[in-house]
Amino acid sequence: MSLLNLHLLEKTIFTRGQQKPVLRGAVEVTLASTIESLTLCFQGKLHTSNTSENDTLEHSLAYHSLILFTKSPTYCLKTGRTRFGFEMNLPAGLPDSIQCRNLKISYTATATLTTTTGHTTRTSKPIEVIRLPVGDRLWIGDNITGIDSGKHVTPYCEYHITMDTQLLSRNSTLPLFLHFAPLIQGLQLKQVSVKLRQRRSVCHNHDWNTSQSSHTLPLVSSFPTSHQSGVWHGMLNFQIPDIATLVPTSNYEGYYENTHILFVSLVVSFPALTHDNGIRRVLDTITYQTVVPIHSPRAAEYEQTEHKLPLYANHPRSPKEIEVLTQHGLPIESCPPPYEEKA
């Protein structure tokens, strides 16, 4: 009997933009007979279902294989234990691993061993793919209406809203900076509130199903309880809820699209004349909206921590990185080998 073990250096693969990530690890083989071949396969699958979730379809996102060993007249492996380190280039643009209603995206690595006696053994490990933010931190404007200056004018006031959306995820804080200037006498800023709307469209059996959910973000920083008159500016922090149904912003053309929109509401109060020339205060709401990216919570953790394994652009290697790569039988200086793509 042959024993087959698959060891992954990174069970979670982080990718950014159009970077091609690398799958690294080792396959350990303990043979009771001579090996014929040993291959490694990376697969990505997308599952969609109808609204009642009683009909599921499977679609292939990726299928790549790497030959770790094949028997030849001049080279064969005898019985005993052998370790094969591997590095496999993966395609760019892989969507996030997702599991939610009507949609599941999953990835696996599978090692397959065939002996000269015709016996085949397989072992698989799940892999999580997480997409990272692209570029530097940006202050974004209202990109739905096309206003990019960040300054907005209403009949009552001028306001300027900027938000740092680089690392938004479940259970993260949304920092919002507001500059507010009244244009009429007696205008007061009464309240600032934020809602996040998630819209997911999934194509199943040529039919598109769309669902939406809306979440109010609680204010977690202080906001003056007294009515605000005159010019006011400051930073407000809102908490994004930690709920499983809030999944990363992503899409795979022809199969699904998951988008997020923020709605910022400013409640203002101002004096107005009544029909008998009296004075009364009127409430009105000004709404600002913008598309925002929501990432996996692991993406924020990745950006804020040091990584024990090096990227290929990182040279020279640190002693710790060299030690880890050597332990797994991986090359220290060379680039990863090419993969074979299966049609």
Q: State the CB neighbour count (10 A cutoff) for residue 10.
A: 16
Element (H, E) at 323: helix 319-327
Query: Distances from the Cα of 22 to the Cαs of 11, 160, 250, in angstroms?
Result: 11, 42, 21
Show the CA angle centred on residue 307, arms to residues 140 and 5, nearest 5°: 125
Q: Residue 249's closest CA among 262, 238, 264?
A: 262
pLDDT at 341: 38
Residues 169, 109 within the same domain = no
Residue 307 included in any domain: no
- Residue 260 and residue 308: Cα distance in Å, rounded? 33
The residue type found at 211 is: S
Q: State how many domains the chain has.
A: 2
**Residue 108 burial (CB count, 10 A):** 13
Cα 271 to Cα 11, 28, 179, 229, 279: the distances in Å are: 61, 78, 21, 12, 6
Residues 29 and 117 in one domain: yes
- Please state the pTM of the whole predicted model: 0.76
pLDDT value for 254: 86
In the chain (343 residues long), the average pLDDT of successive 10-residue segments reads 81 85 89 81 92 80 90 64 86 90 93 86 94 57 36 87 83 89 88 94 88 93 67 89 90 90 91 81 89 86 58 59 66 52 35
Given this model, what pLDDT does residue 330 score? 65
Tell me, yes or no, whether 116 and 193 share the same domain: no
pLDDT in tens, 37-95: 899 999 999 999 876 667 888 999 999 999 998 876 655 666 677 888 888 889 988 99
Q: Are residues 199 and 115 in the same domain?
A: no
Domain region containing 335: 3-132+314-341
Whole-number Å distance between alpha carbons of 89 and 179: 47
Domain shared by 281 and 162, yes or no: yes
The answer to the question of residue 303 being in a domain is no
Question: Does residue 304 fall inside a structural domain?
Answer: no
pLDDT on residue 192: 92
CATH number of the domain within which 326 lies? 2.60.40.640
